C-alpha cells in the first residue's frame, strides 16, 4: 500500500526514484509523483494512473535534473485519485515537500487549526496537513520542526521530507508503516521495501517506530522523536535480485505459482532433521509447547485462510483448541485470552497493520506471540516473542500464491511438532507424515504441469457472473482461498460456503449454468460432499470437482473433475489449491485483467 522512494547522492535522482517506484508497483497504487531539487528549487511532477504516465511526463526523469529527491506511488484513502491528491505535497511557499504512507487520524482538527491560521489546502488528503504543519514549525532547523510535528499527529506514517533550504539532506520518519534506508558508495536511499533499492545496495537499516533519519550523500544519522541521536546496525540482504524479476513469465503471479515447489521445499527441508522436526528460530522448548492450553490464530486475507486450515490440522494432530480470527475483528472484540494461551499471527510482509496491532494488543495483555512471516527483519519478525519464517522469497503479485503455500506447510510443521511433543502422534504416524510432506513439492510440480487442461476449462467461464465454492472441513478452507483468488484478480463475484450450509439459504442462488466448484479431499466427508454436489446439479449448476486420485465415484455427481495426487488428508490444501489458483489466473487473463495489480488492492495493507 503506497510506495516511497528517496535518493540523495552523486547521480541523477529522478531515474533512480522511477526505477525504485517500479519495483514497488506490486504494493498497489493509483497515482505517482516525484519531487526533485534542481539546485535552486524543488520541482514536483505527479499524475493519476500507472507509473509509465509519470515516466512519459518526465521523459524517464530526464526533464527533472537534480541529485536528491523523493517519489511516491499513492493508494487513495483521503480523497479520490487525482493530480491534486497525488503525492508529493508542498507547503504554501513550495519549499517543503512531503511523501507519506499511512493515515493521520487526527488530520481534521489539525487541518482546521491550520486553516484558522490562514493556510490554504489544495488537496483532500491528510498528508497535506503534514506539509503545512512542517511549514508552521520550521524556524531553520528541520529536525526540530519534524519532532514538533510528530508530537502532534496521531496515526501511522512513513515519511520522506525535503527542505529547499537544506539541499544536502533528506529526512525519513516512521511510525507503524514500513520504511528502510540504505547506502552505497554513490549515495543514500529511503524506501518502503527492500526491492526498491536491491539494484543499488544490499546494505539496509530498518527504521523503527518513532525514529527519524537524516540522510546526506555519504552518511546517515538516526534520532528519536526527542532529537536524541541513536546508533543503528545495518543488515545485509541476501535475496537473489532476479527473484524480483519476471524471468520470462507473462505475469509475476504465474512465475510465483511455478515457484511453489521450490518454496514448499525450502520451507520444509531445513526443518526435517534425522526424522524429526527442528525449527531453530522458533525458540520454544518442549516445556513451552506443553504449557500451551489454547491457540489463537490471527491474520488477514489469504493468511487468515491458512489459519482456518491450521485449526483443523492443529486440533487434529496436537489436540489443542484453536480459535481463528480476522485480525481487524480480533483487535476490537475484546478477546478473552486465558492462561496458557499462545497467539499466532501470520503475515507475508510482516507489516500488515491489523495483524501487527493484534500482536501488540496480545503482548500488552501479557501473552506471548508467535509470528509466522516471510520477511526477515519486518515489524512482526522483530516484535514477536517467537518467530517462524516461511522461505518464499519476494512475492510481487498482489494475489498471493507461493507465500500462501509456504504458510500452509509451516503450519503443518508446527502442528506436527506440537503433536509429537504432546504425545498425540505415534512414531509410525509421524514418520509417514514426514514422507508425505517431502512428496509435496513434486506433487505440486505435477499439478502445475496440467495447466493447459485447466486453461481450457477456465476459458469457458470468462463471462461468468457468479461462482460458488463449496467444501467441508479443510475443504471449506480450500474453497475460501479458491474463491478469493478468483474474485480478487478477475472481478467475478465469488463466494465460498461450508457445503452443509447450502440448504440454509445459499442454494436459492443456484441457477441454470451456475458454476459450483466442489472440493472433496477428506475421506470422512466424501459422501456428504457428493450429496451436496447432487443437490446443486439438480438445480441446474455445472459442477467442477477437485478430489484425490481414485475417487472415481465423484464423476457421477460432477460435470468436470480435477484429480490431485494422494496425500495425508491434513495436507490436502497444498495440492487442491493449485488448480484453483490456475483457474482464477486463466479466467482473469482471459478477461484481460491486470493480474499482478488488481484494481483497488494493495500487496501490503499497512493502514486500517
CATH for 553 = 3.40.50.10490
Q: Which of 574, 23, 582, 39 is nearest to 310 (CA)?
A: 574
User: Cell numbers of 38, please?
Assistant: 534542481
Give the three-state DSSP class for 592: coil
Same structural domain, 182 and 325: no
Same structural domain, 361 and 417: yes
Start-to-end CA span in the chain (Å): 11
Per-residue confidence (pLDDT) for residue 604, from 0 to 100: 58
- CA dist., res. 451 & res. 250, Å (int): 14
pLDDT digits (tens, 9 = 90+) for 287-319: 999 999 999 999 999 999 999 999 999 999 999
Assigned domain for 364 exists:
yes
Assigned domain for 304 exists:
yes
- CA dist., res. 2 & res. 99, Å (int): 10
Assigned domain for 604 exists:
no
Assigned domain for 608 exists:
no
Label the pairing between strands 203-206 and 235-236: antiparallel
Domain boundary among 448, 464, 482: 448
Which residue is catalytic, options 2, 188, 300, 548? 2
530 φ, ψ to 5°? -60, -40
Per-residue confidence (pLDDT) for residue 243, from 0 to 100: 62
Same structural domain, 66 and 197: yes
Assigned domain for 550 exists:
yes
Its pTM surpasses 0.75: yes
Q: Which of 418, 289, 298 is nearest to 365 (CA)?
A: 298
Per-residue confidence (pLDDT) for residue 102, from 0 to 100: 86
What does R_g of the chain's alpha carbons equal in angstroms? Answer: 25
Assigned domain for 320 exists:
yes
The distance of Cα 463 from the centroid of its chain, to the nearest Å, equals: 29
User: Cell numbers of 83, please?
Assistant: 493530480
Same structural domain, 231 and 247: no
Assigned domain for 606 exists:
no
Number of independent structural domains in the chain: 3
Same structural domain, 147 and 245: no
Q: Which residues of 22-41 are buried (b: 16+ CB within 10 A; e: fewer)?
A: bbbbbbbbbbbbbbbbeeee
- CA dist., res. 39 & res. 34, Å (int): 16
DSSP state of 176: B
User: Cell numbers of 81, please?
Assistant: 485519485
- Residue 141, CA distances (Å) to 38, 165, 169, 208, 221 in order: 21, 10, 12, 22, 15
Give the three-state DSSP class for 367: coil
591 is catalytic: no
Per-residue confidence (pLDDT) for residue 28, from 0 to 100: 65
Per-residue confidence (pLDDT) for residue 271, from 0 to 100: 93
Domain boundary among 384, 414, 448: 448
Which residue is catalytic, options 23, 537, 597, 603? 603
324: Cβ contacts below 8 Å, ≥ 6 apart: 296, 297, 298, 299, 304, 307, 308, 310, 311
Query: Could you tell me the CATH number of the domain that includes residue 26?
Result: 3.60.20.10
Q: Which of 21, 3, 13, 24 is nearest to 69 (CA)?
A: 13
The CA angle 18-22-23, to the nearest 5 degrees, is 120
Same structural domain, 422 and 479: no
603 is catalytic: yes
Assigned domain for 342 exists:
yes
Print the domain residue range for 188.
Answer: 3-238
Same structural domain, 296 and 388: yes
Same structural domain, 427 and 307: yes
Same structural domain, 354 and 477: no
Domain boundary among 210, 238, 266: 238
Same structural domain, 249 and 229: no
In 10 A of CB 210, how many CB atoms? Answer: 15
Per-residue confidence (pLDDT) for residue 209, from 0 to 100: 87
- Positions of the chain with pLDDT under 70: 1, 26-28, 239-245, 247, 602-608
Same structural domain, 146 and 255: no
Same structural domain, 521 and 381: no
The distance of Cα 442 from the centroid of its chain, to the nearest Å, equals: 26
Amino acid at each position: 500500500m503506497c510506495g516511497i522512494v528517496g535518493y540523495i547522492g552523486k547521480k541523477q535522482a529522478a531515474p533512480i526514484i522511477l526505477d525504485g517506484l517500479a519495483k514497488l508497483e506490486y504494493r498497489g497504487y493509483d497515482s505517482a509523483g516525484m519531487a526533485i531539487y534542481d539546485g535552486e528549487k524543488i520541482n514536483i511532477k505527479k499524475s493519476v494512473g500507472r507509473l509509465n504516465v509519470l515516466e512519459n511526463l518526465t521523459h524517464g526523469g530526464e526533464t527533472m535534473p537534480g541529485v536528491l529527491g523523493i517519489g511516491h506511488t499513492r493508494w487513495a484513502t483521503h480523497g479520490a485519485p487525482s493530480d491534486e491528491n497525488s503525492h508529493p505535497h508542498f507547503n504554501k511557499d513550495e519549499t517543503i515537500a512531503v511523501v507519506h504512507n499511512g493515515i493521520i487520524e487526527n488530520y481534521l482538527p489539525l487541518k482546521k487549526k491550520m486553516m484558522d491560521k490562514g493556510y490554504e489546502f489544495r488537496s483532500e488528503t491528510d498528508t497535506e496537513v503534514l506539509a503545512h504543519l512542517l511549514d508552521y514549525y520550521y524556524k531553520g532547523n528541520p529536525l526540530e520542526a519534524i519532532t514538533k510535528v510528530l508530537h502532534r499527529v496521531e496515526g501511522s506514517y512513513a515519511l520522506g521530507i525535503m527542505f529547499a533550504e537544506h539541499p544536502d539532506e533528506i529526512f525519513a520518519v516512521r511510525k507503524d508503516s514500513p520504511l528502510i534506508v540504505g547506502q552505497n558508495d554513490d549515495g543514500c536511499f529511503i524506501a518502503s521495501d527492500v526491492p526498491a533499492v536491491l539494484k543499488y545496495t544490499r546494505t539496509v537499516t530498518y527504521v523503527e517506530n518513532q525514529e527519524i533519519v537524516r540522510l546526506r550523500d555519504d552518511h546517515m544519522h538516526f534520532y528519536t522523536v526527542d532529537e536524541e541521536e541513536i546508533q543503528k546496525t545495518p543488515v545485509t540482504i541476501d535475496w537473489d535480485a532476479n527473484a524480483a524479476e519476471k524471468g520470462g513469465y507473462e505475469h509475476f503471479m504465474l512465475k510465483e505459482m511455478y515457484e511453489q515447489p521450490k518454496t514448499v521445499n525450502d520451507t520444509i527441508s531445513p526443518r526435517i532433521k534425522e526424522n524429526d522436526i527442528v525449527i531453530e528460530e522458533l525458540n520454544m522448548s518442549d516445556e513451552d509447547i506443553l504449557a500451551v492450553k489454547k491457540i489463537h490464530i490471527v491474520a488477514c486475507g489469504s493468511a487468515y485462510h491458512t489459519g482456518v486450515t491450521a485449526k483443523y490440522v492443529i486440533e487434529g494432530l496436537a489436540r489443542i483448541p484453536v480459535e481463528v480470527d480476522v485480525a481487524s475483528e480480533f483487535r476490537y472484540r475484546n478477546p478473552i485470552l486465558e492462561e496458557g494461551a499462545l497467539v499466532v499471527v501470520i503475515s507475508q510482509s510482516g507489516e500488515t497493520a491489523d495483524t501487527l496491532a493484534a500482536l501488540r494488543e496480545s503482548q500488552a495483555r501479557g501473552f506471548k506471540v508467535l509470528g509466522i512471516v516471510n520477511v526477515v527483519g519486518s515489524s512482526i519478525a522483530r516484535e514477536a516473542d517467537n518467530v517462524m519464517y516461511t522461505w518464499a522469497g519476494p512475492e510481487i503479485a498482489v494475489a498471493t500464491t507461493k507465500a500462501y503455500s509456504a504458510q500452509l506447510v509451516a503450519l503443518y510443521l508446527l502442528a506436527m511438532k506440537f503433536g509429537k511433543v504432546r504425545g498425540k502422534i505415534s512414531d509410525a504416524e509421524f514418520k509417514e507424515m514426514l514422507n508425505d510432506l517431502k512428496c509435496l513439492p513434486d506433487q505440486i510440480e505435477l499439478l502445475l504441469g496440467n495447466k493447459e487442461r485447466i486453461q481450457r476449462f477456465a476459458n469457458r467461464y470468462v463471462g461468468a457472473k457468479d461462482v460458488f465454492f463449496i467444501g467441508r472441513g479443510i475443504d471449506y478452507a480450500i474453497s475460501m482461498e479458491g474463491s478469493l483468488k478468483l474474485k480478487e484478480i478477475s472481478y467475478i463475484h465469488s463466494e465460498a460456503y461450508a457445503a452443509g450450509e447450502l440448504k440454509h439459504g445459499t442454494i436459492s442462488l443456484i441457477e441454470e449454468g451456475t458454476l459450483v466448484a466442489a472440493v472433496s479431499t477428506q475421506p470422512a466427508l466424501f459422501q456428504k460432499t457428493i450429496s451436496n454436489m447432487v443437490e446443486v446439479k439438480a438445480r441446474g449448476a455445472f459442477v467442477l470437482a477437485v478430489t484425490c486420485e481414485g475417487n472415481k465415484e465423484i464423476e457421477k455427481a460432477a460435470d468436470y473433475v480435477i484429480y490431485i495426487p494422494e496425500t495425508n488428508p491434513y495436507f490436502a490444501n497444498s495440492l487442491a489449491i493449485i488448480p484453483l489458483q490456475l483457474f482464477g489466473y486463466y479466467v482473469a487473463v482471459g478477461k484481460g485483467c491486470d493480474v499482478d495489480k488488481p484494481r483497488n488492492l494493495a500487496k501490503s495493507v499497512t493502514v486500517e
